[in-house]
Structure 1
Amino acid sequence: MRLLRRLIREPLLHFLLAGAALYAGWAHWGPSADASRRIVVDRGALLRFMQYQSQDFEPGAFEARLDAMDDPQRRRLIADYVREESLYREARALGLERGDYVMRQRLVQKMNFLLEPQQVTEPTDAQLQQYLARNAALYRVAASWTFTHVFVDPAVKPGESAESRARALLARLNRERAGFNDAPRFSDRYPYLQNYVDRTGEYVGSHFGAQFASLLAGLPVDASRWQGPLRSDQGWHLVLVTAHAPERDPRFAEIRVQLRDDYRRDAVAAKQDQAVREVVGRYSVEVELGSGQ
């Protein structure tokens, strides 16, 4: 009895008993008690687990891989799945996803995916033509040019006027009747291309500058006469323009496949937006920013 009374008065014993009680309470009433304790490992669960692990969502490949596994490989796969599922459930039970913005974004992405319609009615040609009429500017084919150029680099002979050198070279090119393929023989080294075939003004401007592209657009097509000099961001150029295709609207048959894809994409987006609006409509929104905000 004396020993029992001493033990009862011992603070360490009180601490151990309290800890044991807390642990037992956690095990019985803790967050995990409300979560399902049953993990079902079926074929579908394993296939999804394999797909997400490899970030590859081709079902047939994983079905064949699962079927080809021997018993030890399958047991390891099951153990990995059970480990992940157990930790996931415990994390959810503890509320670890709350306040995690990355997790929040992933859940929003999954909801967007669930709200995306799986089927869209195949559009008729009449619908596609109406769609083209509404979005004609998106499909307009830009004007393009085919030309070669001879570059006169001011840095090659800094003591001389590059423009004067270009004018003298222009006379020589036309006198010798230099052709399209002769340009490299006369040109200084240029950081981009020598020949430009069916290139838009935007593309040309990205290499030579907007001023050059504008000047080029004003030149006539003449495959036998060099023209210039034209100023670019890098120096001076002599050009031989051999072809020009003006801006045009494409024929329906040319772009029918693209129109169909774009129409279906927009239809999916419209239905998804409608589904999101319906979800948002289920909630009452109270804006509480305070005065002056």
Structure 2
Amino acid sequence: MKIGTILRSPLLHFFVLGGLVFGLYSVMTPPEVRAPRDDVLRLTEAEMNRLADGFLAAWGRPPTEAESRGLVRDWAIEEAMVREALALGLDKGDAMIRNRMRAKMEFLAEAPAAAMTPDTATLEAYYAENAAQYARPARLGFAQVLLPPDATPEEIAALTAELTQGADAAGLGQATMLPAMIGAMPAPAIDRVFGAGFAAAIGTLPPARWSGPVDSGYGQHLVRLDTLQDGALPPLEALHDKVLADWRSEEARKMRGAFTDELLGRYTLELPGGAAQAQP
């Protein structure tokens, strides 16, 4: 290989630049400031098992002897590079690294909640306090006709009379893609289609007769309430696993908050301009 080709090699440039970086760090960082260097890469049995388990999960079989050596080598490369990067301060000012470390600290703070099992009274109290979250919503079946935006009271009254006499709702009123007949739809779904508050408004109408107008996100409607099934709270046993998971999630949130408050209490916040205040 020619000397010129070697000198133009990107790999050579990489090694030269790396050497300069490490050399500059050694020159600019006094020995007493540098962290004590640990040149031993200690692979624990637990970490080795983790590597093997990861391989098994990815490939559906345990690693061969050669693949195990490869896993160990990859771990050693990663560990060595992380140590050198930390020694050079490459973690400083990196938002992704900071966010990852924060996420790990939060995980450590809330991890115990995943193994907690509340007694029956505690879970029942949590269920009662959050009943609205678990209640089955009311379901409504109804017919509707969207009124023209310029409909007069007289025209609305005439249209109401026509519907009362049995006219087909699908052929009356303003043309729209909305269905004329809706059967037993949950109230939240009705509000998603017609706009917030529409289900509650038609739920107060007298059944089996055309009433209105009722306002929606599309305009005004004449509505006939056909069926109304009130919402109900299922027994705790029917939702036990979900309620338990939600309770643990809430406990984890509390643990994270308490940990954060205690952690901040160890520090004083110094603001721009030299002002300082204790953390709450």
Shorter-chain TM-score: what band?
0.5 to 0.7
C-alpha change, 1:43 and 1:165, in structure 2 (3 Å) is farther
Q: Per the alignment, in what secondary structure is the counterpart of residue 91 of structure 2?
A: coil
Name the TM-score, length of structure 1 as normaliser.
0.62
- Partner of residue 122, structure 1: 117
C-alpha change, 1:25 and 1:171, in structure 2 (3 Å) is closer
2:86 maps to which of 81, 85, 92: 92
- Partner of residue 170, structure 1: 160
1:239 maps to which of 218, 223, 238: 223
Deviations 1:86-136 (A, max 9, x none): 332211110111222331221111112123216534223222222234444
TM-aligned CA deviation for residue 235 of structure 1: 3.1
Distance 1:104 1:292 in 2: 23
The alignment status of 1:228 with 2:215, answered yes or no, reads no
Structure 2 unaligned blocks of 5 or more: 1-18
- Partner of residue 199, structure 1: 186
Distance 1:162 1:77 in 2: 79
Q: Per the alignment, in what secondary structure is the counterpart of residue 268 of structure 2?
A: coil
TM-aligned CA deviation for residue 219 of structure 1: 0.5
How many residues get paired? 252
Q: Is the 8 A contact 2:136 2:232 kept in 1?
A: yes
Distance 1:82 1:107 in 2: 21
Name the TM-score, length of structure 2 as normaliser.
0.64
Q: Is the 8 A contact 2:144 2:224 kept in 1?
A: yes
- Partner of residue 285, structure 1: 268
1:64 maps to which of 57, 60, 63: 60
Q: Is the 8 A contact 1:46 1:81 kept in 2?
A: no
Structure 1 unaligned blocks of 5 or more: 1-18, 52-57, 155-159
C-alpha change, 1:286 and 1:238, in structure 2 (3 Å) is closer
Deviations 1:166-225 (A, max 9, x none): 5444333332365xxxx545565535555252322x543443345745542330222xx3
1:261 maps to which of 221, 240, 245: 245
C-alpha change, 1:42 and 1:236, in structure 2 (3 Å) is same
Letter in 1 for 2:151: S
C-alpha change, 1:191 and 1:271, in structure 2 (3 Å) is same
Q: Per the alignment, in what secondary structure is the counterpart of residue 144 of structure 2?
A: strand
Percent of residue pairs identical = 27
Question: Could you say which structure has the larger radius of gyration?
Answer: 1
C-alpha change, 1:165 and 1:292, in structure 2 (3 Å) is farther
Q: Per the alignment, in what secondary structure is the counterpart of residue 197 of structure 1?
A: strand
Distance 1:256 1:74 in 2: 43
Task: Give the stretch that moved more between structures: 137-146 or 38-47.
Answer: 38-47
- Partner of residue 36, structure 1: 38
Distance 1:291 1:118 in 2: 38
2:105 maps to which of 93, 104, 111: 111
